[in-house]
C-alpha cells in the first residue's frame, strides 16, 4: 500500500529553530546548479565532496548540474566531535582518482574559520588540476581566520551561529534534518 510522504514536521524538534526550510534550500540549489552548468560547460568537471557534511548538498547540487561531471570524496579531520577548530587537518580518506588536468570543484558543507579549506586547497593545489574552486552550502564569514580564502560559490551566508541539518551535525547528530536549523539549548540536544 502506498504511504503518504513524510511531512517535514515529523522531523521537527522543539529544541531547533528553522533557519532555512527545505523549500528555500532547493530553490537556492537550483540557482547554483544553473550557474555551475553555464560556468563549467565544456570542461572536465570533478566535484570533490568533503565527507561527511557535504553529502546532502553534493547529492542535490550534482542533480542540478546538467553536465557530464564526475564525483570523488575526501575525508579530513578538523572538528572531530568538538565545536572548536584546531587548524590541524589530517587526511582520513584521499581521492580515489587523480585530478591532473581536471576542473575541481570542492564541495563543502560550511566554511567557518576557513582553516580546513585553506589546507585542502594547498594539498589539492599541488596535484596539477586545471582549476580548483570552492562551493560551500553555508558561509559563516564572522569567525574566518584566513580572510584571504576565496569562496567561489555560496548557498547562504549566515551569522555566527552553530547550525545543524542538511548534512551538518552536532556531535554526529541531526545530519538527516531536511532543513537548516539552530540548536536552541545544546545541553538538551
Ligand atoms: P573551518 O572552516 O576549518 O573552521 O571548519 C569547517 C568545518 O567545521 C565544517 O566542515 C564543519 O564540519 C564544521 N562546522 C563549522 N561550523 C559548523 C556549524 O555551525 N555546524 C556544524 N558544523 C560546523
Ligand atoms: Mg565538515
What residues does each domain of the chain span? 43-160
CB-based pocket (< 6 A), ligand 1: 53, 78-79, 85, 108-117, 162-164, 168-169
Query: pTM for the complete prediction?
Result: 0.90
Q: Cell numbers at residue 105, please?
A: 570543484
DSSP 8-state class, residue 92: E
Residue 36, classed as helix, strand or coil, is helix
Question: Can you tell me the distance from the alpha carbon of 37 to that of 18, in angstroms, rounded to the nearest whole number?
Answer: 30
E-only strand ranges, the chain:
16-20, 45-51, 70-77, 90-93, 103-111, 131-139, 153-157, 163-164, 180-183
DSSP 8-state class, residue 107: E
Q: If you count them, how many residues does the chain have?
A: 189
Pocket test for ligand 1, best of 109, 154, 156, 180 (most atoms within 8 A of CB): 109
Question: Can you tell me the distance from the alpha carbon of 107 to that of 109, in angstroms, rounded to the nearest whole number?
Answer: 7
Please, are residues 110 and 159 in contact by the beta-carbon 8 Å criterion?
no
Question: Can you tell me the distance from the alpha carbon of 129 to that of 103, in angstroms, rounded to the nearest whole number?
Answer: 6
Tens digit of pLDDT for each residue in 15-65?
Answer: 899 999 999 999 999 999 999 999 999 999 999 999 999 999 999 999 999
Q: Which atom of ligand 1 is nearest to the CA of 116?
A: 3
The CATH architecture of the domain made up of 43-160 is 3-Layer(aba) Sandwich (3.40)
Tens digit of pLDDT for each residue in 5-15?
Answer: 554 454 667 78
Q: Which atom of ligand 1 is nearest to the CA of 54?
A: 10
Tens digit of pLDDT for each residue in 114-138?
Answer: 999 999 999 999 999 999 999 999 9
DSSP 8-state class, residue 134: E
Amino acid at each position: 500500500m502506498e504511504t503518504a510522504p513524510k511531512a517535514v514536521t515529523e522531523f521537527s524538534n522543539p529544541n531547533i529553530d528553522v533557519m532555512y526550510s527545505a523549500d528555500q534550500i532547493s530553490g537556492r540549489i537550483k540557482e547554483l546548479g544553473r550557474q555551475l552548468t553555464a560556468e563549467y560547460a565544456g570542461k572536465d568537471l570533478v566535484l570533490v565532496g568533503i565527507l561527511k557534511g557535504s553529502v546532502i548538498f553534493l547529492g542535490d547540487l550534482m542533480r542540478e548540474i546538467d553536465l557530464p561531471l564526475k564525483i570523488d570524496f575526501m575525508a579530513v579531520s578538523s572538528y572531530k566531535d568538538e565545536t572548536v577548530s584546531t587548524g590541524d587537518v589530517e587526511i582520513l580518506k584521499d581521492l580515489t582518482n587523480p585530478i591532473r588536468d581536471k576542473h575541481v570543484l570542492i564541495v563543502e558543507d560550511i566554511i567557518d574559520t576557513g582553516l580546513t579549506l585553506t589546507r585542502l586547497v594547498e594539498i589539492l593545489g599541488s596535484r596539477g588540476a586545471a582549476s580548483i574552486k570552492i562551493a560551500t552550502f553555508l558561509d559563516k564569514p564572522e569567525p574566518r581566520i584566513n580572510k584571504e580564502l576565496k569562496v567561489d560559490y555560496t548557498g547562504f551566508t549566515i551569522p555566527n551561529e552553530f547550525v545543524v541539518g542538511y548534512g551538518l551535525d552536532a556531535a554526529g547528530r541531526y545530519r538527516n534534518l531536511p532543513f537548516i536549523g539552530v540548536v536552541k539549548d545544546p545541553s538538551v540536544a
